[in-house]
Amino acid sequence: MQHKKLKDFPEGFLWGSASAAYQVEGAWDEDGKGVSVWDTFVRIPGKTFKGTNGDVAVDHYHRFKEDVALMAEQGLKAYRFSIAWSRIFPYNMQEVNEKGLQFYDGLIDELLANHIEPVVTLYHWDIPQYLQDDYLGWESRQIIEDFTTYAETVFRRYGDRVKYWVSLNEQNVFISHGYLMATHPPAVKDPKRMYQANHYANVANAAAIKKFRSLGLDGQIGPSFAYSPGYPIDARPENILAAENFDELNAYLWMDVYAKGEYPSVIWNWLEENDLQPETRPEDFKILKAGKPDFMGVNYYKTSTVAANPLDGVGIGTPNYSGEKGSTERGGIPGVFKEVLNPFVEKTNWDWDIDPVGLRIALRRINSRYGLPILITENGLGEYDKLKEGQIHDQYRIDYLNDHAKAVQEAITDGVTVLGYCTWSYTDLLSWLNGYQKRYGFVYVDRDEDSPKELKRYKKASYYWYKEVIEQNGKNL
């Protein structure tokens, strides 16, 4: 529907920006940090773009004060970052590393001193390596207890200062990439193992939320879900059904479990039919029902357009990790759906559909299905940026973010409760599989795949644009 006038963004709207520990911190073996599965994975030849790793990343560990000063100057209201589990429990789940805890004390205090709300992610994909070696990490029921212990430790330490918590970041991504596509650690290709690991992750997520509540802390907690809403390519009923299948299997399979504490029946039935259903226990569902989130965190980048796929149709595709436009080989699940080209939207150089209306649709679907407030925990454009005479003219990023923020305002006007909007990312950072050439930040970091150079920071044009958006609480969009 078209509105005659858009509502204003609410007072106190969290205009934020985000990062993740492995992608920015560096200092991979400093101050008692243990090894995470990503520290190991990036050392296997051929796994990442040009063999890039996060050993130094953008050195946020040593430069966080400089980075927070840039945020403060911009007027940022919220900064979302993740805690590296391997800094807190480096070698086992019994001994806590005080120096690891102190690093995040310093970051949180620096943010608060500059009136920036910390939004803390417990887990952004970097499980300690010893948990993988000891019992296969997410594939073991033991992870539920260990994740809860880790979560409780950081809740107790920072709960007096942190009011927004994100439990798991993009469970759908780390599980599907880790256990189906084998592009993330532990690089397994086995759907049965994937759904089992996913079930334990579901219960661990809810157990951590339940623990948070039991501590009586003031604050809100929810997962961040990577939602790419499905569109049918046309009005042929079988394609509409394929789009339904896509959202059931790629979105509701996760979000229903978070928000309702149960699996969507259509998907559970499909899992059973294909002998893919995880082993569950009745007490798991008690935890799932008791650990529902306060908000749904949403990471939105693009939509997906789909069509029907026969039982002997295409399987897993090949994403574009090179930045060569048009190199994506779209895949699907035989008998369920296949992804196809959407001719109506522009694409990035990594072939991601640029679709601000899709964000409004995403927010509305979540609102209708779950009625939960939504925190947009990521949204942004990965592109090549050029540093020229100390400046970066990223008008394409301004356009992208402006259109998406406007779509958020439209959704708010539609009646959706949105707590805040965090762009991805604050500074440029390491893209897990795309190296340093795919940039997302407001702040350019001068480094590339070959060398960290001096890691000098430069404000992009988008930095100044967002400063004004924040100053005017979105009135200038």
Q: How far is the CB of 169 from ligand BG6 (least distance, A)?
A: 5
Q: How far is the CB of 61 from ligand BG6 (least distance, A)?
A: 17
When the beta carbons of 302 and 457 are compared against ligand BG6, the nearer one is 302
The backbone region for 217, taken as left when phi is positive above 0, alpha when psi lies in -120 to 50, beta otherwise, is beta
Tell me the two tokens of residue 48. 């990442």
When the beta carbons of 97 and 250 are compared against ligand BG6, the nearer one is 250
Select the residue whose beta carbon is closest to ligand BG6 and give its number. Answer: 431
When the beta carbons of 370 and 440 are compared against ligand BG6, the nearer one is 440
- In eight-state DSSP terms, residue 168 is E
CB 466 within 8 A of CB 442: yes
- Distance separating alpha carbons of residues 338 and 333, to the nearest angstrom: 6
Q: How far is the CB of 120 from ligand BG6 (least distance, A)?
A: 15
When the beta carbons of 40 and 114 are compared against ligand BG6, the nearer one is 40
Q: How far is the CB of 383 from ligand BG6 (least distance, A)?
A: 10
**CB atoms inside a 10 Å sphere around CB 268:** 16
Active site (annotated) includes residue 11: no
Among 25, 139, 248, 378, the active-site one is 378
Among 170, 248, 339, 410, the active-site one is 170
When the beta carbons of 303 and 434 are compared against ligand BG6, the nearer one is 434
The backbone region for 216, taken as left when phi is positive above 0, alpha when psi lies in -120 to 50, beta otherwise, is left
For residues 92-115, one letter each, b for 16 or more C-beta atoms within 10 angstroms of the residue's C-beta and e for the rest, the string is: ebeebbeebbebbeebbebbeebe
Q: How far is the CB of 270 from ligand BG6 (least distance, A)?
A: 25
CB 295 within 8 A of CB 222: yes
User: Look-up: residue for tokens 């509540």?
Assistant: 213
β-bridge mates for residue 121, sequence order: 82, 166
When the beta carbons of 270 and 400 are compared against ligand BG6, the nearer one is 400
Which amino acid is located at 304 in the chain? S
Active site (annotated) includes residue 378: yes
Element of type H or E holding 27: none
Cα 430–Cα 434–Cα 436 angle in degrees, nearest 5: 40
Collapse the DSSP code of 123 into the 3-class scheme (helix H, G, I; strand E, B; otherwise coil) and give the result: strand
Interface residues toward ligand BG6, by CB under 6 A: 20, 23, 169-170, 173, 226, 299, 378, 382, 424, 431-434, 438
When the beta carbons of 41 and 263 are compared against ligand BG6, the nearer one is 41
Q: How far is the CB of 350 from ligand BG6 (least distance, A)?
A: 6
Distances (CA, A) of 164 to 16, 224, 226, 419: 12, 12, 18, 11
H, E, C per residue of 277-301: CCCCCHHHHHHHHHCCCCCEEEECC
β-bridge mates for residue 439, sequence order: 383
- Distance separating alpha carbons of residues 367 and 383, to the nearest angstrom: 30
Q: How far is the CB of 45 from ligand BG6 (least distance, A)?
A: 20
- Distance separating alpha carbons of residues 344 and 396, to the nearest angstrom: 18
- DSSP labels for 204-230? HHHHHHHHHHHTT-SSEEEEEEE---E
* Crossing angle (nearest 10°) for helices 395-414 and 356-370: 30
When the beta carbons of 382 and 420 are compared against ligand BG6, the nearer one is 382
Residues found in the chain:
477
Q: How far is the CB of 471 from ligand BG6 (least distance, A)?
A: 27
Q: Please give the positions annotated as active site.
A: 170, 378
